[in-house]
Structure 1
Amino acid sequence: MPSLRKRLMALDPATVSTVLSLLPTILDQANKTIEKIKKGRRKDEPDIGGTMEPRDPAARIAELEMAAMQQAEAVKLLAEQHAITIEALRKEAARLDRRLRLMTAVAMTGVALGLGGLVIALNLLFR
């Protein structure tokens, strides 16, 4: 499996900049996920303090790290999907460019033949 650095270096700069522009949204989602986890923990704890043993800070940190890792995995998948989309768009743009060039050449040939036919018709008409 290639290292993250090699995979990032292989990405297009436009892809990287797009992912970086999406990073605040992703981090916002990560913060929301962390808040949901925290709220879930608060609901599990009784309202009257001292009756239940407080949660282990190491376990909470591990859970938050797991949530952060899941968000990082989501970012990685998003970047890969974005790279695939960009590649598909490039291929489609190249195909459309070739088609446009072909249609332009056909149109130019048609105009040239039409003008040639018009010149011949005018010469025959005015003889």
Structure 2
Amino acid sequence: MSCHCTDLPETLYLQQAPHGWHHRLLQKTCGQHASLFQCADCEQYWAIDFPRREEPQVVTRISDPDQWQPAGDASRKQLLTHSRGGTTETPCIWAGCGAPTVHQTIYCIDHLYETGARI
């Protein structure tokens, strides 16, 4: 069985990965908010966030296993924007903002994220 690592984006929600894909990863180390894994087939490194209450786990491709970090807010915002279908030209309703809203919402990505939306 071959891995799917080359087919995956740089950052994704764990539930978007192919079924059982993460079970083939070998845990290398554990950090404060995530663990570092390596694919048994292609040797690609991945950081997988620990499960958090009502938040999806984020998986991030790691290029340098000596300098790895879990997904930050920027990666999470990018995933959230993508999962909602991108942005529109409609301005955010947050007072004084006016940035483009995330599709099917009334907020820009920064203010949508502030509301606690994660998927």
TM category (shorter chain) comes to under 0.3
Between Structure 1 and Structure 2, the one with more helix by share is: 1
TM-score by length of 2: 0.24
Q: Comparing both chains, which one has the higher relative contact order based on Cα–Cα distances under 8 Å and sequence gaps of 6 or more?
A: 1
Please identify the structure whose Cα radius of gyration is greater: 1
